[in-house]
Amino acid sequence: MNQKKKWVAPSILSADFSRLGEEIREVSDAGCDSIHVDVMDGHFVPNLTIGPPVIRWIRKTTKLPLDVHLMIEEPIQYLKDFRSAGSDWITVHVEACKDVQATLDQIRNLGAKVGISLRPKTNVKAIEPYLKLVDLVLVMTVEPGFGGQEFMPDMLEKVRALRPQFSGLISVDGGINLETASQAAREGADIFVAGSSIFKESNRKNMIEKLRRAVS
Ligand code: DX5
Ligand code: ZN
């Protein structure tokens, strides 16, 4: 994986789930770099989405990496299922794990790329002990749980604080549009997760291209 390349990662949370395969094929053909899949359990966040059985079908619709964002309590008990369903990158929340290191180690042992995420209220210091164990840090730029919320500009400070101490990929997730993507890119973010700003457009290809230009 080229660490210098900026990734545009559509979040399928804002896709039409009755046509999920077509939606994913459309953004894949439009030249995005990965597919972001939001998993919510109704405990860690006040919303419910999908689990491994759906990911298994999503896996068949695209060759792009599946970047699976687990917003679930104690993800360690489900990691094997998410991996065998076809997740390439698995990101867990630092706040959701009793034993963060064991959770990250298990993702690594399952052969997936390892990600850690933090809620807006969580200080960057909470993830610093784990930076050597992960390939990706996902900075939440909205409160996790729902698409279509407004970007929290204060979160740019986290990207700024992380960049000099972390050589892996920094992802920003929540409220990403042309303007906020370009602000995050200036702070050194690598991956731009965008749900509503891509899926609300009738011409997704055009939007993905615009996002790519905004971050490069
Ligand atoms: C929120 C999710 C995001 C969400 C982003 O908890 O992690 O990935 O889909 O949606 P937008 O881009 O609409 O803010
Ligand atoms: Zn997400």
Among the listed residues 87, 7, 76, the one whose alpha carbon sits nearest the alpha carbon of residue 50: 87
- pLDDT at residue 90, rounded to an integer: 99
- pLDDT at residue 1, rounded to an integer: 46
Contacts of 109 (CB under 8 A, 6+ apart): none
Nearest atom, ligand 1, residue 141 CA: 14
Beta bridge partners of 115: 91, 136
- pLDDT at residue 3, rounded to an integer: 47
* For the CA of 119, the nearest ligand: 1
pLDDT digits (tens, 9 = 90+) for 112-151: 999 999 999 999 999 999 999 999 999 999 999 999 999 9
Q: Using 50, 70 and 90 to split pLDDT, how confident is the model at 177?
A: very high
Pocket test for ligand 1, best of 13, 116, 143, 179 (most atoms within 8 A of CB): 13
pLDDT digits (tens, 9 = 90+) for 182-193: 999 999 999 999
pLDDT at 204 over 60: yes
Q: Using 50, 70 and 90 to split pLDDT, how confident is the model at 2?
A: very low
Annotated catalytic residues are 38, 173
- Ligand 1 centre distance from Cα of residue 126 (Å): 22
Task: Determine whether 89 is exposed, middle or buried from the number of CB atoms within 10 Å of its CB (0-12, 13-18, 19+).
Answer: buried
